[in-house]
Amino acid sequence: MIKVGLIVGREWSFPPAFIEEVAKRDQGVQVEFVSLGGTAMDEPVDYAVIIDRISHEVPYYRTYLKHAVLQGATVVNNPFMWTADDKHFGASLATRLGVASPKTIALPNREYIPGINHDESLRNLRYPLDWDAIISYIGLPLILKDAHGGGWRDVYVCRTKDDLIEHYNGSGQLQMIAQEFIEWEHFVRCLSIGQTEILPMKYDPRERKYVVEHEHLPADLGKRIVDDSRTLMRALGYDMCSLEFAVRDGIPYAIDFMNPAPDMDINSLTPHYFEWTVQKMADMAIGLAKAKRDKPEVKHGEFLLGRRER
């Protein structure tokens, strides 16, 4: 049996459904929960693939997963990319790839750890910030949000310069970005599995709910969203991710697509989309598990790029 390891948090619906689906396929691949309690530096990893749903909240898991990559496991998602991503990089990357992105500016942090002295430690920073220049580039209203955020924490709509300064002053040690607010007429959230399978779902951000409505996109807009999603996922190398598009004047702006542990709960996805997710996750895990693998060459650091060619 080839083994796939699963690392999960408190989610209850996806793990058993996924384990059962892979078992049912009868492909010589078996999923089990990874069991960890301290990792020696030369410890072998006997998983062909590890699916990581929670290392953003458990740093030791992330450390173990980087070790697992070095030992030849394919980790979904690549822990090196996950550690490095942020929403400003995402916006720049999208723009370079020809995917519409809201204008974005990375801001210096408002506060620092106690050892940082503003005059001595921050000689590379210009103060005060030129708020008028920032606003004239981005426009108003704008969104101020955590460059590393998730789960809607620390996302503020700022309608005036005073709003912006007030929320920035409350941002503490977070690294914030200011971003053009997309006044959308339609909002789409996609799940992406294995970099190619894309499920664009109608999403209501106000209710934070998916809406099952299969004809919600005109064909050309749907195609552009699927193409843009594939472009972004290939560039990032993420094998499971969700992407959010805010559609304004018919143009889908990619506003949030660095979600390497996307929500896969049956209640938020609805049973219909949940079933799609379980099927595609099983396809992806089995495909990667059966791909030939050796311990990666590490001399030139290519292993940092994550999975190798199948």
Ligand X SMILES: Nc1ncnc2c1ncn2[C@@H]1O[C@H](COP(=O)(O)OP(=O)(O)O)[C@@H](O)[C@H]1O
Interface with ligand X (CB under 6 A): 102, 143, 145, 149-152, 155, 179-182, 205, 244, 246, 255-256
Which option in Mg ion, ligand X, none does residue 225 bind, with CB closer than 5 to 8 A by kind? none
C-alpha radius of gyration, the chain, whole number:
21
Span from 165-173, 174-182, 217-225, 250-258 in contact with Mg ion (CB under 5 A):
250-258
Question: Cα separation of 282 and 1, whole Å?
Answer: 15
Binding status of residue 85 toward Mg ion by CB under 5 A: no
Cβ nearer to ligand X, comparing 5 with 262: 262
Quote the tokens at residue 309. Answer: 């060619």
Are 7 and 51 in contact by the 8 Å Cβ rule? The answer is yes
| Beta carbons within 8 Å of 298's beta carbon, 6+ residues apart | 70
Which residue do the tokens 């791909």 mark? 291
Binding mask 117-156 for Mg ion (x = CB under 5 A): ----------------------------------------
Return phi, psi of residue 211, to 5°.
Answer: -120, 120
Cβ nearer to ligand X, comparing 188 with 286: 188
Element (H, E) at 165: helix 161-169
Question: Cα separation of 265 and 174, whole Å?
Answer: 28
Cβ nearer to ligand X, comparing 15 with 149: 149
Which option in ligand X, Mg ion, none does residue 15 bind, with CB closer than 5 to 8 A by kind? none
Distance in Å, CB of 210 to Mg ion, minimum: 13
* CB-closest chain residue to ligand X: 256
Binding residues (CB under 5 A) for Mg ion: these are 256
